[in-house]
Amino acid sequence: MRSQHKITRNLIINAAIDVFSNGDFEKATMRSIADKAGVPTTSIYNYFKNKDDLYVTLIKLIVDRTNRELNAHLLGINDIKNKIKILAKHQLEYFEANPNIAYLVFASTNISYWYQHSSALEKARESSAVLVKIIEEGKSRKKIRADINSHIIVHMFFGAMRAMVINWLYSKQIYKLSDMADYLADYIYSGIAFVNPDKPEFICPLLTKANQQSLYE
């Protein structure tokens, strides 16, 4: 009996992803999800309170899975820049392999929807917590500037990623989304990397020698 319940629940979840990612979330109905899953509409309410509860459950499943896989990829990685690259690559590869989920997360619902459902927002923040942890580790090891506000960098990173995924979706996926991962990571890291004033790692070639010196005086 339990296995049948699990099968039915999974059918509903997969049907919800298809329905939510193929149109306007607000117009999606429990009946359309039930029809897609091949179950009576009343069956859905044995597992989920309403459409919002079903959506929040989907978000939790997606975040839990991606974070579990990401943490496995990060094991044994010491270099801070590489950690940021792995994070960017893992996220973009996942959405590239699952465009329906990418549409569900980034296009089907407005950002304001997340703030209306605190449990979904808190679950989503678990993904950003991975980047915060990497940044704070980088600060402690003097790989990232101590004055960096981790939460602003999180907004920049995931805001850029959101824009990249949406552009990829509406460009009919004509290029590889994952190819953008290194660019995203490099731009973020170059802006927050610690630079030793006695031994600068990078000097803009457009600056004059006088201006270059003044940066470290």
For the chain, give the number of residues. 217
User: Using CA atoms in the order 68, 73, 74, 75, what is the torsion angle rounded to 10 degrees?
Assistant: 90
Start-to-end C-alpha separation, the chain: 73
pLDDT of residue 212: 45
In this model, does residue 82 exceed pLDDT 90?
yes
Backbone phi, psi, residue 62, to 5°: -65, -50
Cβ-contact 71, 90 below 8 angstroms: no
**Domain segments of the chain as ranges:** 78-197
Cα dihedral sign, 146-152-154-157: negative
pLDDT classification of 33: cutoffs 50, 70, 90: very high
Q: 10 Å Cβ neighbour count for 1?
A: 5
pLDDT of residue 117: 72
Domain 78-197 has CATH 2.40.30.10: no
Alpha-carbon distance of 50 to 93, in angstroms, equals: 31
pLDDT over 90 percentage in the chain: 57
- Which tens digit of pLDDT belongs to each residue from 100-148? 889 888 888 777 777 777 777 787 788 889 999 999 999 999 999 999 9
| pLDDT average, residue stretch 192-212 | 61
Beta bridge partners of residue 144, listed in sequence order:
193
Residues whose CB is less than 8 angstroms from the CB of residue 12 and which lie 6 or more positions away in sequence, other chains included: 33, 34, 37, 39, 43, 44, 47, 48, 54
Alpha-carbon distance of 67 to 61, in angstroms, equals: 10
| pLDDT average, residue stretch 156-179 | 93
The residue whose two tokens read 């600068």 is 200
pLDDT of residue 213: 47
Beta bridge partners of residue 81, listed in sequence order:
none
Give the lowest-confidence range in 26-40, 54-68, 85-99, 191-205. Answer: 191-205
CA dist 69 → 78, 87, 90, 117, 127 (Å): 17, 10, 8, 25, 12
pTM: 0.82
CA dist 188 → 85, 97, 139 (Å): 10, 24, 14
DSSP-derived letter for residue 98 is -
Instruction: Name the residue among 50, 43, 61, 53 with its Cα closest to residue 101.
Output: 61
